[in-house]
Structure 1
Amino acid sequence: MNTISTFVILYPVIVSIVWIVGSIFYSIQMRTVPLRNLHAGQPDDLVSVLIPGHNEQDTLASVVESVSHITYSNIELVLINDGSQDDTLRVMHELANQYQSQFPVKVVNIEVNRGKANALNVGAQEAAGTFLLCLDADCYVDANVIQPMLAQFYNNAKVGAVAGKPIVRNRTSILGRLELLEYVGVIDIIKRGQAFVTGHITTVSGVVVAYRKAALEDAGWWNIDAITEDIDITWRLYHHGWQVIYCPRAVAWILVPERIRDLINQRRRWARGGFEVLFRNREMLVTGRLSEQWLLLDMVLSDLWAISCSFVTLFYLFTVAFTGDLIMDGVILFLLLFISLVQFLIGYADSRKSDFISWQDLLLLPLYVIFYWFINLVSCLTSLGSFFLDPRHVGSWRSPDRGL
């Protein structure tokens, strides 16, 4: 029991220190990287902007408007309706007519809802661009999103995908503001740390990511059987020798769940997608590149930590119930809280100019530390159970709660 307890305590501390140090050096490194590095005399390649949607009539106008402000001139827009039951298709045609004079717009209609991966596959076949910028239908993309992504592609011919940085924009609820703190203090920090330490990241963010079309073709496009197409395509690219890069300069503002039930469902889907990818790529723990082995090992240890943490917690609760002794190690609690605070402050220092965090948001920091450990622990455990008890699923999607 002591060994398990030690692992539960030390694993998050050690990993957090690695990500913190890696994030600091990554930020220093990024300051020396030029924003754009195009080959002399080379024309700007066509970038196809793909926006798939299912029942997105209320959010489409906003994301397409943001695309119209993109400063990179050589783009086309591909709108993909995936079996929507509302007026999404009609809205897509209206937007096509509205913006057709500014850039080419294609509307692709899929009669039956078969999921985001299938919608992206169909849309990619209609896209003429050398690169594909894939956006979620509920985001609002930064005007300068494309240039820093293209710089990564042109700097290294083996880069198959460039992941952008999502920023939470719906902050009227406590839950939305907690998710803002998580994106700053956890998700962004981990990606920066992974990028510096391993040169790779565990997954792109499907809400804003650019792909080299040739790399997607080489990897066999998106897997329609994967529950999380963004995690799956990341590792399919790795499997075929491509690199996936994180680019926090490429920003998109996103809407996040504002109901606990929807948040847990989202995190369960993320966690299950991770289990699927780990299972499909388990041989890479031995045969993969060192950086890939490191990331997969971290995924394994994270799952073991969730199981161990639940076991230790239950043991502690039973001990309290039978003995009445509410014993907690203050030093351990202080260490975990201190590491979490330092990790957030590093993320805040990197993101304060783009994320616009208010002092009211910062007041929720103590709650955020406790709440998100609990949410992600529950999500991981329930997803692990569903992965083994119900290994099959149907490739469809529904409109999530986004605080609208």
Structure 2
Amino acid sequence: MSVLLDFAFYYPLVMSMLWMSGSILYFLRWERRQPPRTEPQPLPEQPPISILVPCHNEGTHIRETIGQLARQRWPEFEIIAVNDGSTDDTGEQLDALAKEVPQLRVIHFAANQGKAMGLRMAALAARHEFLVCIDGDTLLDENAAHWMMRHLLDSSRVGAVTGNPRIRNRSTLLGKLQVGEFSSIIGLIKRAQRVYGRIFTVSGVIAAFRKRALLDVGYWNVDMVTEDIDVSWRLQMRHWDVRYEPNALCWLLTPETVHGLWRQRLRWAQGGSEVLLRYASGLFNWRRRRMWPVALEYLLSLVWAYLMLVVVAVWAVGKFVPLPPEIAVPSLLPRWHGVILGLTCLTQFMLSLVIDRRYETRIGRNYYWMIWYPIAYWMINTLTTVVAFPKALLKRRGVRAVWVSPDRGLR
């Protein structure tokens, strides 16, 4: 039991150190050269792009989303919105917007086909080689396309670029916690993974692709719960480069209820497990060795989640049945190791917020709330991982993943 407890302590500690060191290297190598909050530098060329917006029951937000897209600072672009079997007035609003926004084209699905199919159809209908994909409730920064195109034009081997999602709704504790999470967890991890070789996933809410790269891997798979994780792995296993661009900002809505947050994290966890299970055999190839750290990191996170379940179970049994001292867990309350993990977590949050002040000057006000993150979110993420892995293991291949509803949990 002592070995298991040591792993439970050292795994998050070591990973936090790796993320922080990787993010510092990323900052020193790339970010510090770009002055904060400045206009992007001119590009040698600005080819036309297609912006893809899959929608399902986005009537509340779609007008704001399309209106913001129309203000992109890019010489030539088209917007392709896919109404994926919406049961609200999304379709009617898109048809009305098509008369107001000359760049907009609308595709209607009679029935719910899923986000991956919507992206596939929009990509096939796109006139241009470079695709920018966002969600139907997302506000894209006016310069976001410019920042992502910088990478796609830099090298013909860049297949995808993921941007920097920011939280719009911050009125609740869950909203405030996710501001820090997207900065200190998601942002830091993407920076570190970019330095160490491979990125686990592009952000489905904001990403740019080279159409030729998508064609090479067969576009998005329609039977994966998280199409963004799946396409990221397939691109990189085919040796396409995937990059992170923190200047490519967008603003999204996140769950504000525990139920909404649970559904979101369960889908993320199941998607990661599905990808690991489907492509694990293909990783036993020396040419794909740069994917090994990403796969190992996720595998260890699975082991850690189940280990924590075992620790809690042993502690609970010990309350009713006397256990030998070598396997007993006397308490779940933090002791010296919990204090170290808590201080490391807060240091990670501090580092990420200092870096992210370049993009959001007042983000530091959320630091106070992050003291609750290790307790609330580690528990939720651990439970969703434990529940999601059997779901991924038992899922039949080929079953299409369709929209359930806009996954926000808004009140």
* Pairwise same-fold verdict (TM > 0.5): yes
Does the 8 Å contact 2:237/2:291 carry over to 1? no
Q: Distance in 2 between matches of 1:51 and 1:118?
A: 12
Q: Distance in 1 between matches of 2:385 and 2:304?
A: 10
Partner SS, residue 170 of structure 1: coil
Q: 1:313, CA displacement in angstroms? A: 2.1
> Does the C-alpha gap of structure 1 residues 263 and 356 become closer, same or farther in structure 2, counting only changes over 3 Å?
farther
Q: 1:319, CA displacement in angstroms? A: 2.7
Q: Which moved more, 1:312-321 or 1:215-224?
A: 312-321
Does the 8 Å contact 1:255/1:402 carry over to 2? no
Q: 1:361, CA displacement in angstroms? A: 2.8
The Cα offsets for residues 41-88 of structure 1, whole Å up to 9 and x where unpaired, read as: x4x211100001011111101111111221112111101110111111
Select 2:402's aligned residue among 374, 390, 396: 396
Query: 1:220: which partner in 2?
Result: 218
Q: Tell me the TM-score normalised to structure 1 length.
A: 0.93
Structure 1 unaligned spans of 5+: none
| Superposition misfits of 4+ residues, deviation over 3 angstroms | 31-39, 320-329, 355-360, 389-394
Does the 8 Å contact 1:202/1:234 carry over to 2? yes
Q: Distance in 2 between matches of 1:180 and 1:50?
A: 26
Q: Distance in 1 between matches of 2:240 and 2:272?
A: 19
Q: Distance in 1 between matches of 2:332 and 2:298?
A: 31
Q: Which moved more, 1:146-155 or 1:203-212?
A: 146-155
Q: Distance in 2 between matches of 1:53 and 1:157?
A: 30
Q: 1:241-260 alignment to 2 at 5 Å?
A: 241-260=239-258
Query: 1:383: which partner in 2?
Result: 388
Does the 8 Å contact 2:259/2:409 carry over to 1? no
Q: 1:36, CA displacement in angstroms? A: 4.6
Select 1:84's aligned residue among 83, 86, 95: 86
Query: 2:162: which partner in 1?
Result: 163
% identical equivalent positions: 32
Partner SS, residue 354 of structure 1: coil
Q: 1:289, CA displacement in angstroms? A: 2.7
> Does the C-alpha gap of structure 1 residues 218 and 390 become closer, same or farther in structure 2, counting only changes over 3 Å?
closer
Query: 1:125: which partner in 2?
Result: 124
Query: 1:9: which partner in 2?
Result: 9
Does the 8 Å contact 1:36/1:150 carry over to 2? no
Q: Distance in 2 between matches of 1:2 and 1:220?
A: 47
Structure 2 unaligned spans of 5+: 35-39, 323-328
Q: Distance in 1 between matches of 2:32 and 2:135?
A: 31
The one-letter amino acid of 1:130's match is E
Q: Distance in 1 between matches of 2:155 and 2:370?
A: 39
Q: Distance in 2 between matches of 1:180 and 1:322?
A: 43
The one-letter amino acid of 2:408's match is D
Query: 1:330: which partner in 2?
Result: 335
Q: Distance in 2 between matches of 1:320 and 1:181?
A: 36
Q: Distance in 1 between matches of 2:303 and 2:42?
A: 43
> Does the C-alpha gap of structure 1 residues 391 and 331 become closer, same or farther in structure 2, counting only changes over 3 Å?
farther
Q: 1:125, CA displacement in angstroms? A: 1.1
Q: Which moved more, 1:271-280 or 1:358-367?
A: 358-367
Does the 8 Å contact 2:80/2:126 carry over to 1? yes
Q: 1:402, CA displacement in angstroms? A: 4.9
Query: 1:374: which partner in 2?
Result: 379
> Does the C-alpha gap of structure 1 residues 147 and 258 become closer, same or farther in structure 2, counting only changes over 3 Å?
same
Q: 1:265, CA displacement in angstroms? A: 0.9
The one-letter amino acid of 1:14's match is V
Q: Tell me the TM-score normalised to structure 2 length.
A: 0.92
Q: 1:335, CA displacement in angstroms? A: 1.0
Select 2:56's aligned residue among 33, 54, 64: 54
Q: 1:105, CA displacement in angstroms? A: 1.6
The Cα offsets for residues 67-122 of structure 1, whole Å up to 9 and x where unpaired, read as: 1221112111101110111111111111111111xxx2211111111100000001
The one-letter amino acid of 2:116's match is A
Does the 8 Å contact 1:285/1:297 carry over to 2? no
Q: Distance in 2 between matches of 1:265 and 1:338?
A: 29
Q: Distance in 1 between matches of 2:180 and 2:331?
A: 30
Does the 8 Å contact 2:81/2:107 carry over to 1? yes
Q: Distance in 2 between matches of 1:194 and 1:129?
A: 29
Q: 1:88-167 alignment to 2 at 5 Å?
A: 88-100=90-102, 104-167=103-166
The one-letter amino acid of 1:232's match is D
The one-letter amino acid of 1:308's match is L
| RMSD, matched Cα | 1.9
> Does the C-alpha gap of structure 1 residues 278 and 326 become closer, same or farther in structure 2, counting only changes over 3 Å?
closer
